[in-house]
Every structure is written in structure tokens, then in C-alpha cells.
A = this chain, B = another copy of it.
Amino acid sequence: MTHEPASHLTLEPLFNPTSVAILGASENKGKIGYMQVKALLDGKFKGDIYPINPKSEMIEGLRCYSSLSEVSKQIDLAIFCVSANRVKSSLEECVRNKVKAAIIFASGFSEAGEEGIKEQQSICKIAKESGIRLIGPNCVGLVNTTNGLIGTFSAGLTNIPLNDQKSVGFVTQSGAFGVLTYIAAAQSGLSFNYFVSVGNEVETEFSDVIEYMIHDPKTSVISGYLEGEKNPGKLRQLAEQALTINKPIIILKTGRSSAGIRAAASHTGSLAGSDKIYDGFFKQTGIVRADDYEDIISFSKLFLTKKLPAGGNTVIVTSSGGRGINEADRCEAYGLKINPLKINVQEEIKRNIPPFASTSNPIDLTAAAAVSNPELYLEPLRVLVNDPDTDIIIFTEFPMRWKADDPLLKEFMDLCRNSSKFILITTFPLEGMSIPVSASELEKNGIPVIPGNLNPIRALAKLVEYSDKYRKAKQGTIQKVPEIKGEIELADLLLPGTKLSESQASDILNSYGIPTTTRAISTTEKEAIRYANEIGYPVVLKVDSPDILHKSEADAIRLNIKNELEVRNAFKEIIRNANNYNPNAEINGVSVQEMLPEGVEVIVGVTNDPVFGHVIMFGLGGIFVEIFQDISFRVAPLTKNDAFEMIEEIKSYKILKGARGKPLVDVDAIVDVLLKVSALVSDYGDYIDELDINPLIVYEKGIKAADAMLVVRDSVNQTTLVGG
């Protein structure tokens, strides 16, 4: 590779070019080559615009050039309004003329079969060798509303009225869905500063755009629509960086369902990791997961208030009992807490509101507030701003006719501004009846007004979670990945194609300090008896063979063996059954192990995900995993915080905490095993495909792996071998 590593700085010519050339510019109003020129003019783009077309002299009053070389000035960005078959030659022309960046709309590449894939590969090669930054192909383009760079032909992105609130960046893997989200946001009073449709991501990828926006001072919130991330390692690092500087990343990741995964694969050609793993990855990195496009809009509006809720304790103020209850249901469904107010707080509020109004939570001011006495809305607020048990106050209605200079409105805003409470006004979504006249004044003062169709309560719950994660990051309670080293070099044991028996897998766990059962491999009955006597009864006997991973299925395991006679019989039966089960199996012998006392059985597993690489799974044993899918995932390597969170996340965590009168088990010991497994697969990632500790038995104090399985890769990643 001859070019300098791509960085966010080299994306500047894409986002802030001083000059733009339009290849394939046209006078024909039906062609995108015309629409693109018009879009730049309508957008009042501040730089130079050079339409390129040998057949035209002028387009919309601009001089048209016959080729790039005819332009004497430096061209930062070329926008390709040409069809697929002309992309390659145009790109070569750009390189010759030292153009720094390009946007390619044309489709007909990797999404269109073999020919297209080849063509895309040559484009990729040109870009990598020349260092030119590319958006596309097969994309809708790039818009920077802060400088009028409307790099798109899409009508949806051009004739949309924008407002001043422009600090949310948006990057999308779907052009059409992205455009719809852009319009919906603009209609809700939120204009994105950047809109980037990455298309086939031939050069600039989803996470490159995120990187740019992290470094960009004009961006306060980074949002995106994602079908499949190509570089999760990079995205993880970026997310960590963004969290530290309190610049949230909110992503709508589709393909949750089996159908979605299928469709995503055929749509973008990118690999789609299991949705459960994406979920774990987002939790781990602090990326906010949007459930739908509304979350992007509402979350941004909430975040742009520059207040973070201190917690999830929410009080609802309503003038309709029914609406109050409905919103309370919604809050609790999304994880916000609606606790009853303390009696003294209730009494303070009661003093100045009608006697039939309710002061429990929701506070129901009754129709009196809505119809005749809007000043009632101030009463609970005056009290709640000083209530230490309240983090969030939600008004489910608001006086529609308070004008910007109304003294009551001013007092309302003063109370809100001087309070650390997070305050939200949400209204029932009706055409022409859901936005109070004072809405923009309120929003300027940090009080968002969001109608219910944008689901602000779901977004608020996400903001509470984000705030918590941000505070932890700030306080440093989200630690770095701990340094854990194995005792011995394992590369030779894990050579590609190697098969490991349970005992060998356990040895590897031991070398990373993971406690396993005391054990010894016997090859004769006599030896088995000797080991059993040394270990102490009761013992367990199991076949030890790299070819028999499912020992129960082979009937080659015997538990709770109490004496020499039983050892002798068990040994015979195990050898016989193992031979019957798989006559070709290589059998190391019979493993004699201590019989572990009862404890809580958990599972720690590792899979090698095509998107995320090594992913660690945790869950309780047996039916919890199988029936309830009560498991959690995190991408390796784990921090201590990751390990704790993945344990706390499962529902059956209650059992670990000591449900049904049983004592609390040693959660720290589970964390320890998770971190050691993480270290093992990080150190030997190129060698390990799967790992299963099942069961891992946890006690009030201590932990032991009762069984282990480790699958070595068939072949090792070439580049990594070269690098290492």
C-alpha cells in the first residue's frame, strides 16, 4: 500500500470543498446532471461550481467546461452524474487532475452481479492507490446544510425548508430510508447538518463518516442508519472516544428479525451479525440504539437541551387523568420509574391546586388547568424543582395559547432553566393542535416540545441510559481492558486443525488461571483407582477424547462414583461405550475428576462472529439458555465493567443474587472467569473458533469449570500470521 492512512482530515474536501466539479452536468432538466447543478445553486453553495460537459457552453448561467483539465483551479470535489460504465474512466480523470474527493451516484456495481463486483474492485483499487476519498457508488450523495453543499440529485433532500438547529450529523446505509428520515426530521424542526449516504462503501465507510463527525466541532449528535457494520473494531474505538467527549452516537440498526437479516444481506452485501450481538455491542460501547427513525429525531432534540437527566425518576403532570395514566404506562414500559411522591411534597403541591386534583404521580390538575386556569401548570413545577427524588418532569399537555411574552410562560421557563431537572413537554399528536404557540421559545430555553408520534418517552429512556453510561465513562468506572497473561505459550497447542479433548481444553483454561476440576487421565483401571483415591471420593469418570465432544450422548460419563468397585465398572463401561459410539475416535484415556458439590450452573461461551470476531456469551445453564434465551453477549476484549454488565443484564441474575432464600453467589468470580476467557481469546484469536465452559459452577465463594470444550480454527488468517 502506497498511500497515507486515510483519516478524518482527508474527508474535509468532501464536506467542505472550496470548488466542486459536476461530471456529466447537463442542460436537460430531466437529467440528474442538471438537478445537481441546480441543487448547488439553490443551496447557495459558497465555493466555485464547475459543470463539466463537452457538449454544453452554459448551464443555469454557469460556464460549462469540456473536461476537468480545462479548469485551471484546484478542484476539491467531483460529483459524478454519469452512468456506471463511465465511472472508472471519470475517476482516472479525477486522479490525473488531482481532485481530492468524489461522490458517485451510479448504481450497477457490487449489487448488480459479477461484472459490477469487478468494476467496483477496480474503482476501489484506484481510490486506495491515489488517496482520493470516495462516497458511493450506488448512493444518494452528501449534503452539508451548513455551507450549502447539496451534493445530491434527490428531490427529497433539496426542496425541504430547513431551520437553524443544525448540529446533528446523519450517515445512512440506505439512501431512500435516509432521505425519508431527513425529511421527517426537517418537518419536526430538526435539520441535520450533514447527510451522508454511503452506498456501497467502496472507500469511505460508515465508521469513517462517524470519525469525521466526532472530530467536527459543528456536530453535537451523530446519528445513523445501519444494516451491517464492516469495521466494528473501529466503531468501538470511535464510540469510546465519542462517549468521553459526550457526543452521543445514535444508530438505527435494522435487520433485527430473521427476515431483516436475510434482506439486509441481499441489500447491502455486507455481513450481518446476529441482532443479539449487535445489542450487546451497542450496550458495551455506549452507542444508543434507535428502535425506529423517530428515536433519532426525539433523542437529538432531548440531547440538544444540554441537560442530562440525573436518573430515571419521573413525575408526570397532566390535565387529563386518562392521558396521564397512558403516559405513565409508557414510561414504565420503557424503564423510567413512576414512583409516588413523598407525602410532604404532595402536600406542598396541594396547597395551591383545586381540592379534587390528584397529587400522586401522575399529578392530575384536571380539566381546570386545560380549560380555564393554565397558571395551575406552574404549581407542581415550583415544588418539584426542589424535590431531590425527582429527576424528570413530563408535562403531557401545555397551554396552547401562552405567547412568548406571557409572564406565566416566562416564569415557567425561568423555573425550568434554573433547575437541574430534565423537563419535557409532550403532546397528543393531532394535526394543527399539537404544537403550542410558544414551542420555539420553549425549545430555545432548553425545554423540548415533542408530540407523541415522535415517541419522546422512548427516546427519553434512552437518554437516561446514555447519561448513566456517560457519567460512568467520565468517572472512569468503565475501566480499560485489564492485562491478563497466560502462564505458558499456547500457539503450538492451538495449531490449525488441532482437536482438543476436554482435559486439554481445561489445561488451556488453567494456564489463564481459570479454576477447573482436579483431574488426571487414566489409561488403565488400576490407574483410575489410584487417581480416584488421591482425589478423594466421590469422583466423576469421563472419556477424554478430542473426537467425542458430546460425552453424555456417547454415554461415556459417570457421576458420583463412591468406591474402587464403582471406578472399575465405570472405567470399563466408558471405554466400551466410547468405542461403540465412535470406533475411530482417538481416546486419551478416562479422565478421573473430583465430583464438584452443587452450586449454580452458568455458561461462558465464545463464538467467532463473522461481523464482530470473538464474542463472549454468558447465561445460566440449561433451560435458561434454551427456553428463555436468557443470555448476554459482549465483543472481546472485555473490560471489567463489560463483564459486570453482561452478568447483570440477564433476567436470571436474580438467581445469582440469591432468589428463593439461597445465598448470593460469587459474582466477582464469574467476572474473573469472563475476563480471563476474554484475555485468552484476545491473545489467541487467530487460533480459536469456539469455546464453551458448560457448566461453570459458582459457589457462595469461588467457582470451578466442570467441563470445557475448545474448537481450534481449521486455518489461520494469513495476513495476521504474516504480521505476527
Find the B residue at minimum CB distance from A188.
B431
Task: Tell me if A338 and B111 are in contact (CB < 8 A).
Answer: no
Task: Tell me if B254 and A329 are in contact (CB < 8 A).
Answer: yes
Q: Given that A320-B174, A623-B655 are contacting pairs, would A255 and B325 also be in contact in the complex, using a CB cutoff of 8 Å?
A: yes
Task: Tell me if A627 and B659 are in contact (CB < 8 A).
Answer: yes
A326–B227 Cα gap in the complex (Å)?
10
Task: Tell me if A325 and B227 are in contact (CB < 8 A).
Answer: yes
A362–B178 Cα gap in the complex (Å)?
18
A124 CB-CB contact with B under 8 Å: no
Find the B residue at minimum CB distance from A254.
B325
**Stretch of A65-73, A239-247, A259-267 lying at the B interface:** A259-267
Q: Which residues of B contact A113 (CB under 8 A)?
A: 355-356
A364 CB-CB contact with B under 8 Å: yes
Q: Which residues of B contact A331 (CB under 8 A)?
A: 257, 259
**How many copies of this chain does the complex contain?**
2
* A428: contacting residue among B180, B339, B358, B628, CB under 8 A: B180
Would you list which residues of chain A between 588 and 616 have a CB under 8 Å from chain B? none
Find the B residue at minimum CB distance from A272.
B325
A183 CB-CB contact with B under 8 Å: yes
Task: Tell me if B659 and A623 are in contact (CB < 8 A).
Answer: yes
Q: Given that A266-B360, A659-B623 are contacting pairs, would A259 and B338 also be in contact in the complex, using a CB cutoff of 8 Å?
A: yes
Q: Given that A184-B430, A370-B176, A430-B180 are contacting pairs, would A659 and B328 also be in contact in the complex, using a CB cutoff of 8 Å?
A: no
A361–B358 Cα gap in the complex (Å)?
51
Task: Tell me if B174 and A267 are in contact (CB < 8 A).
Answer: no
A321 CB-CB contact with B under 8 Å: yes
A5 CB-CB contact with B under 8 Å: no
A255–B108 Cα gap in the complex (Å)?
53
Task: Tell me if B660 and A622 are in contact (CB < 8 A).
Answer: yes
**A526-565 Cβ-contact flags toward B at 8 Å (1 or 0):** 0000000000000000000000000000000000000000
**A224-263 Cβ-contact flags toward B at 8 Å (1 or 0):** 0101000000000000000000000000101111111011
Q: Given that A262-B360, A331-B257, A623-B660 are contacting pairs, would A227 and B322 also be in contact in the complex, using a CB cutoff of 8 Å?
A: yes
Q: Which residues of B contact A117 (CB under 8 A)?
A: none
Task: Tell me if A433 and B183 are in contact (CB < 8 A).
Answer: yes
Would you list which residues of chain A between 308 and 365 have a CB under 8 Å from chain B? 319-326, 328-329, 331-333, 338-340, 355-356, 358, 360-362, 364
Task: Tell me if A332 and B258 are in contact (CB < 8 A).
Answer: yes
Find the B residue at minimum CB distance from A266.
B358
* A267: contacting residue among B176, B339, B361, B364, CB under 8 A: B364
Most chain B CB neighbours (cut-off 10 Å) among A267, A292, A321, A652: A321
A627–B111 Cα gap in the complex (Å)?
47
Q: Which residues of B contact A172 (CB under 8 A)?
A: 322
A582 CB-CB contact with B under 8 Å: no
Task: Tell me if B256 and A329 are in contact (CB < 8 A).
Answer: yes
**A691-715 Cβ-contact flags toward B at 8 Å (1 or 0):** 0000000000000000000000000
